[in-house]
Amino acid sequence: MWIKVMPKKTPRKFSCILVACLYYTPKTEYLKILMRKHPECGVIITGDFNQLRDNFMKTHYRFVQVVNVVTRGQAILDKIWTNMEEVYTPPVTISELGSSDHNMVLLKPKAKNSVDTGCVTRLTVRCMGPKEKATFSMALSAIKWEPLFRLDSCADQYSYYQTVICNLMEICFPTKIVTRHTADKPWVTDWFRDLVRKRQRAHMSGDLNQAKILRNKVNRAASKLKYNFYQTQIAAMHESGSHDWWKHMKTIMGLKTNGKSCMQGLANKTTDGDCGLLANTMNDFFVSVSDHLPRLNKSHKVFDVNEELPDQYVISVCTTFKALESVKANKATGPDNIPAWVLRNYANVLAPPLTAIFNNSLREGVLPMNGKWPM
């Protein structure tokens, strides 16, 4: 028997609660239909499982069996499978009901459950719409790099390059402060948030007619946004590798990682679970590999600044252009505060000044970050 429960106060991440009382293990097909119809629901499946095979609930649906006390003799026959284990206290057994030889299992909700309901955060983001990007593209293409080419030091060239790009980004991509909720769905947009706020204001002010109109708009917008989001995710799966495929699949199913480090298993075996100690141990090992080698003479320079750079060390503009085109645009911004997508999308504009910086760096034998570190 299945019951769909929709209480007024439900944990934010659950749209409803499905409760099942059974004697035989439910069919996989029926569970698939329910989970497909209610992908964000909380599930509680309880009953006398006896020796029936039920591991598919763990492997296929990520449910957790929470009963860890014996319910009949020395065996656990009465089980509770759920994806809401954090909302309830550990189950306990009480005396039998009537003439039954099974103990009853009592599962109590927590007075203040530990479910992560999220919080409101304020973020500083840049306005990077199509208009802003078009303005940035025209301004960047109009820059004359002759002053950079006339500079002698690679440190001065790099400073000039970074200042020009960063100042241009500040002008074309102004920053603004936005409000986000950490539990928002991935398909929620700023326009949808504004529409929800208007509906709430109309409802609170007592304008029920306007609130009803905005409610219908919100429902239609939510359906359209969800449909477009999941269609885009499914379309991207056809052209992605195995790693990205599983990433898209977890996004569609609403699955999240447990947040544990992938090195936690190794830390449990070697350092009693201390990841910090494991990191220091690995660092000491890698240092010991080259510790016996003589240190480099920092005062030695491979080339004289006044000498010509050998041809085999000269970097061409074409080489720099190909390297910039291969930059992954989704990578995080480096210490220069220039996004990776800028380097990739405007490789033809940035290749000449970067080539000059690279060649001057090789000629001087220093890194351009501060002009003091010998290579």
Q: Give 27-37 pLDDT, tens digit per residue.
A: 667 777 888 88
At position 366, the amino acid (one-letter code) is V
Q: Average pLDDT for residues 164-185, to the nearest whole number?
A: 87
CA distance readout (Å), 83 to 49, 142, 335: 18, 57, 42
pLDDT for residue 146: 93
Coil, strand, or helix at residue 100? coil
Q: Give the model's pLDDT for residue 372.
A: 41
**311: confidence class by pLDDT, cuts 50, 70, 90:** low
Say how far apart CA 23 and CA 82 lie, in whole Å. 16
For residues 209 and 62, the model is more confident at 209
> What does the alpha-carbon distance between residue 39 and residue 45 come to, in Å, rounded to a whole number?
16
CB of 58 closer than 8 Å to CB of 85: no
Residue 141: pLDDT above 60?
yes
User: How deeply is 369 buried, as exposed, middle or buried, from its count of CB atoms within 10 A (0-12, 13-18, 19+)?
Assistant: middle
Q: Phi and psi of 275, rounded to 5°?
A: -70, -30
- Mean pLDDT, residues 130-157 taken together: 91
Write down the mean pLDDT value for the chain: 82
What's the pLDDT score for residue 36?
80
Where along the chain do its domains lie?
A: 2-106, 120-224, 240-275
Instruction: Give the C-alpha separation, 306 to 14, whole Å.
Output: 70
- Percentage of the chain lying above the pLDDT 70 cut: 87
The arithmetic mean of pLDDT across residues 328-353, rounded, is 88
* pLDDT level of residue 139 (50, 70, 90 thresholds): very high
pLDDT digits (tens, 9 = 90+) for 220-236: 999 999 888 878 877 77
Q: What is the pLDDT of residues 270-290, one digit of tens each?
A: 887 788 888 899 989 998 888
pLDDT at 62: 81
Q: What is residue 371's predicted lDDT score, i.e. its pLDDT? A: 41
pTM of the model: 0.53
Which phi-psi region, left, alpha or beta, contains residue 61 (left: φ > 0; alpha: ψ -120 to 50)?
A: alpha
Length of the chain: 375
Query: In which band, very low, low, confident or very high, does the pLDDT at 160 lie, cut at 50, 70 and 90?
Result: very high
Containing H/E element for 245? Answer: helix 242-253
Of 139 and 34, the one with more pLDDT: 139
CB-based contact 47:102 (threshold 8 Å): no
181 exposure class (CB count in 10 Å sphere: 0-12, 13-18, 19+): middle
